[in-house]
Amino acid sequence: MQKIFIVEDDTSIVDSLKKVLSSEFSVVSTLNFRAVVQEITETHADLVLMDITLPYFNGFYWTTELRKISKVPIIFISSANDEMNQVMALSMGADDFVAKPFNLVVLRAKVQALLRRSYNFSASELTFDEYQLVDNQLIGNAGKVELTSTETKILQILFEYGTTVVPKDILLTKLWENNDFIDANTLHVNMTRLRKKVGIINFDKIHTVRGVGYVLG
């Protein structure tokens, strides 16, 4: 059974999340808000639900620390629902952002989709020019970069389409699987983060076709 780790200091929200998720997953929550990363790694969590406002250190801090050692999928759950918080969370390595108060059924669907995307994904080697996409890594002549599961999936789709434009609605559907749960801003922030990351190895081939989608070239 896959394990969901909740980093949330509101016990009523923790109880609600455990109630809706425990029939399908093993669900645990943090006991020590000074040692969140240690607890996540020791419990071998498969996905993390992370609040922003927490005792001692906020969720941005813990996400940054966690991303130094782990690619575990992270969904932010927060009442601090302004665009800057969403951008910060996704830029720091989170995979999705759900605003409170949230629909528990929708949140469960997001958890299910992200787990499928993260652990059922097995990309064969894909290439574009001198670049290779292999096992959550983009490899080029200038080196390699580690990718999150969402970043890998975005590149997989773009590599498969090659120099053919991928319409934004198709990319969103392939990533989030169900149009009811699509967040176009999440895609935009992930794409911005991906471009910055792969730019380290001089991969500047992701182009926006305004009003249509994205293409490699």
Domain containing 85 — which CATH number?
Answer: 3.40.50.2300
Whether 10 and 109 share a structural domain: yes
Whether 53 and 71 share a structural domain: yes
Q: Tens digit of pLDDT for each residue in 36-66?
A: 999 999 999 999 999 999 999 999 999 999 9
Task: Choose among 29, 31, 85, 34: nearest CA to 57.
Answer: 34
Average pLDDT over the chain reads 88
Whether 211 and 105 share a structural domain: no
Beta bridge partners of 206: 216
Report whether the peptide linkage leading into residue 101 is cis, meaning its omega lies within 30 degrees of zero: yes
Whether 130 and 114 share a structural domain: no
Whether 137 and 209 share a structural domain: yes
In 3-state terms, what secondary structure has residue 151?
Answer: helix
Residue 190: its H or E element: helix 184-198
Whether 7 and 108 share a structural domain: yes
Whether 61 and 151 share a structural domain: no
Q: Name the pLDDT band for 179 (thresholds 50, 70, 90).
A: very low
Whether 114 and 69 share a structural domain: yes
Whether 70 and 109 share a structural domain: yes
Cα–Cα dist 208/205, whole Å: 10
Whether 137 and 191 share a structural domain: yes
Residue 26 belongs to domain spanning? 3-119
| Residues 170-184, mean pLDDT to the nearest whole number | 67
Strands 143-146 and 137-140 come out as antiparallel
| Residue 136: CATH number of its domain | 1.10.10.10
Domain count, the chain: 2
- 119, 145, 169 — which closes off a domain? 119
Q: What is the DSSP string of 53-71?
A: S-SSS-HHHHHHHHHTT--
- 119, 135, 161 — which closes off a domain? 119
pLDDT at 65: 95
Whether 65 and 95 share a structural domain: yes
pLDDT at 120 over 90: no
